[in-house]
Amino acid sequence: MDRLVWVVAQLRQHCPWTRRLTHPVLTEYLVEESYEALEVIESRTAPWDASAVADGDDERLRLEMGDVLFQVVLHSAIASGHGGFTLDTVAEAITAKMIRRNPHVFHADGTLRSEEELAAASIADIEKAWERIKAEERAREPAAPDSPFASLPAHLPALASAGKVVDRAARQAVDPLPEPEAPSSGSAAEADRLEQALADEEALGAELFRLVQLARRADLDPERALRRHLAALRQGRR
């Protein structure tokens, strides 16, 4: 890691192209590198175990993770160049957050809990504590919006964002979302619904959101489902 930090520092000092980079200029590369890593992960249908090493997928993912890491180091170098955050303070912040949000594993001072305490935590309790702590953090933010969905990233793909909204509404004590009507195959009502959904973008958006709700209820990821379907189309499969 020290060698990578040194290389990035030299590039910032001696390479005119790297030196002119800014946080906004780098956004497209951060997104691109993240999606390339995602593509490697989702392209593997077999388990990510020792067989991934033998198949070469582990090596492919290692290289993509390096590209993502480079973006983190480069953003940190840009920030530290004008007196902002550094790679060390980035690591310190995420370390503190993980300790704070995982009280079933760590005491408040960062020390590990006892074996008895670690064994007592259930998945349901862990998820509730995570959401409670996140809500407390949001409440301490200046001018925190009232909406429980306000902290969701604005630039998430629409299907992924809709899925996050549905999941967060299910986990938190918020006004429930409208119950989605399950499709009735071949029914006149379903045909009418589809015709209405195609009337304008607002109606289409409501219908797409209904499908997202049904997908999450079935424990399916609509964003991943569509990505996989598009990948099959690109490969000539229907």
pLDDT mean values, one per 10 residues, the chain (238 residues):
97 96 94 92 90 93 97 98 97 97 95 95 91 84 66 74 78 59 64 76 84 87 83 70
CB burial class (10 A; 0-12, 13-18, 19+) of residue 232? exposed
The predicted pLDDT at position 143 comes to: 60
Tokens of 35: 């999606």
Architecture of domain 2-46+56-101: Orthogonal Bundle (1.10)
The predicted pLDDT at position 151 comes to: 67
**pTM, to two decimals:** 0.71
The closest alpha carbon to 193, from 203, 201, 202, belongs to: 203
